[in-house]
Structure 1
Amino acid sequence: MAPTARTRTVAATGAVVALVATLAACGAGAGDDRHPEHRSFALHGRTLTVDSDDSALELVVAGSARTDTVEVTRWFQGHVVVGGDPRVTWAMKDDRLTLRMKCSGMIADCSAKHRIVVPSGVAVNVVDGDGSVRANGFAAALNIRTSDGSVRVTDSSGPLDLRSGDGSISALDVDSRRVRARTEDGSVRLGLGVVPDLVESRSGDGSLTIELPHDTYRVTTGSDDGSVRVSVPRDPASSHRVSAHTGDGSITVRTRTAK
């Protein structure tokens, strides 16, 4: 009986190893979902909060037509062995869109992505536990927090407050007057098309690059380990304040090249 039991154990172990290898070679990718789901949620106020635990997020602004709905498209792929079936949920309550993914087991591999179309003029607060965040075309305020993932904002003009626990931050081709960007581990790159009132950038470990329109600025910088290059005109009395600080990395503050 002992040899038989051992053979079964070895066979089971081999099967688990084969499954792990298969999942590693063919990891779940939300982009592989050829049949994404779509849903509309009513929005009663002028601020939307997106609360996500584990998903890549893409936020865009709806067309010029007036709308009071948030349109969400969801892609999802998941595989679980020795565990419950993976699933994703979405719900709106008090203008808070909650996105959740359940994926647990001895062997689990899941991936989710959401594209969120927001009515024009609506401010957005994002709290994402694990996943990148992309936002484009916002004239209202954007407040984005992700614990693990990059943040990228383009073609926006509202105030920006961007933070990542572990990931790079970029805000390019933006006309925002107030920009705050902070990451614990990653680079920060900011490219502004208008003279800002305030730019604050900080990284625990990563380089900082800030490109500004031609003007005079009150600039403060600090790097514990890295070069600092400031080529914009400086004036300690300027009302246009720029600060850049990093624990480990270079700092560049320069005049933006005209297109």
Structure 2
Amino acid sequence: MRVLVGVGATAVAVGMVAACGASAEDDSEPEQRSFALPGRTLTVDSKDSALELVVSDDAKAADVRVTRWFDGRTVIGESPEVKWKMDGDRLTFRTECSGVISNCSAKHRVVVPRGVAVTVLNNDGKVTATGFREPLKVRTSDGSVTVRDARGPLDLRSVDGSVRAEGVTSKRISAASKDGSVQLRLAAAPDRLQARSQDGSVTVALPVAKGGGGGGAASYRVDTEAVDGGADVSVPRDTRSPHHVSVRSVDGNVTVRSAN
């Protein structure tokens, strides 16, 4: 009888956890901390958390400011725990949520001082980054990447997640996804853009000069390859253009079009 009662109680507990999934958005009292940054580079090393990175609006700010939301529960296993620490220029986030029955959700918002080059290493969680003027490098596994309003060089990679860039004016861009699409919408013509996808489509929207020109280019040097997919290029092309765009896809379509 004890075994049956235990099994029944476990089944009820499983149902309760499944019905009440953890969500970091439910944390009404997030924690905040500031970390001293010794130089002009920062690596954010995260696991099992969504990340939001923004540039500080305070020109004199020198510290990295972090806000953490967390919601977690375990029925069979140790209590969940989240950890954060800074070691040199490496900021680490870890979520420990183990047990037979567990459900945890974490989110970190990182405010970075101006003029800092950032590298993001994230496992199991989406990454969004806004407003960066310095180099930004992102590597994710099991999570999407979205970058907005960037001016510095971009190097974006995702496994099992999409890659998006919107309204960027970066001169050098490299973006790739495995098992996910790549969508890049530029607000200024790049000098060099490389986009790759395996098992996903690639769409690149480029500004084309009209009248006064703006951020667009008169033409682009475009190289495309689509394996088991089609390629459609509708921007003006010139093999001598200083604006080189290279797009490749395996098992997905390639589209290079005007962003105007």
Fold shared per TM-score above 0.5: yes
Secondary structure of the structure 1 residue equivalent to 2:137: strand
Q: Matched residues in 2 for 1:22 and 1:29: separation? A: 15
Q: Give the superposition deviation at 1:44.
A: 1.4
Q: Which residue of 1 aligns with 2:239?
A: 236
Counterparts of residues 195-234 of structure 1 (less than 5 Å): 195-214=189-208, 215-234=218-237
Instruction: Give the percent of matched residue pairs that are identical in Structure 1 and Structure 2.
Output: 56
- The answer to whether the aligner puts 1:12 opposite 2:15 as a matched pair is no
The AA in structure 2 aligned to 1:106 is V
Q: What RMSD in Å do the two structures reach over aligned CA positions?
A: 0.9
Which ranges of 4 or more aligned residues in structure 1 deviate by more than 6 Å?
none
Q: Matched residues in 2 for 1:200 and 1:101: separation? A: 34
The AA in structure 1 aligned to 2:90 is R
Alignment length (residue pairs): 251
Q: Matched residues in 1 for 2:197 and 2:16: separation? A: 38
Which of 75, 82, 87 is the equivalent residue of 1:81?
75
Q: Which residue of 1 aligns with 2:55?
A: 61
Which of 223-232 and 54-63 deviates more? 223-232
- The answer to whether the aligner puts 1:187 opposite 2:190 as a matched pair is no
Q: Which residue of 2 aligns with 1:156?
A: 150
- The answer to whether the aligner puts 1:139 opposite 2:142 as a matched pair is no
User: TM-score, with normalisation over the residues of structure 2?
Assistant: 0.94
Q: Matched residues in 2 for 1:187 and 1:44: separation? A: 37
Which of 240, 243, 248 is the equivalent residue of 1:245?
248
Q: Matched residues in 1 for 2:129 and 2:112: separation? A: 10
Q: Matched residues in 1 for 2:175 and 2:228: separation? A: 20
Secondary structure of the structure 2 residue equivalent to 1:23: helix
Q: Which residue of 1 aligns with 2:105?
A: 111
User: TM-score, with normalisation over the residues of structure 1?
Assistant: 0.95
Q: Give the superposition deviation at 1:237.
A: 2.2
The AA in structure 2 aligned to 1:244 is V
The AA in structure 2 aligned to 1:107 is I
Q: Matched residues in 1 for 2:107 and 2:170: separation? A: 27
Quickly say closer, same or farther: Cα 1:69–1:174, change in 2 above 3 A. Answer: same
In structure 1, list runs of 5 or more residues that go unmatched. 1-6
The AA in structure 2 aligned to 1:96 is R
- The answer to whether the aligner puts 1:41 opposite 2:44 as a matched pair is no
Q: Which residue of 2 aligns with 1:129?
A: 123
Q: Give the superposition deviation at 1:223.
A: 1.3
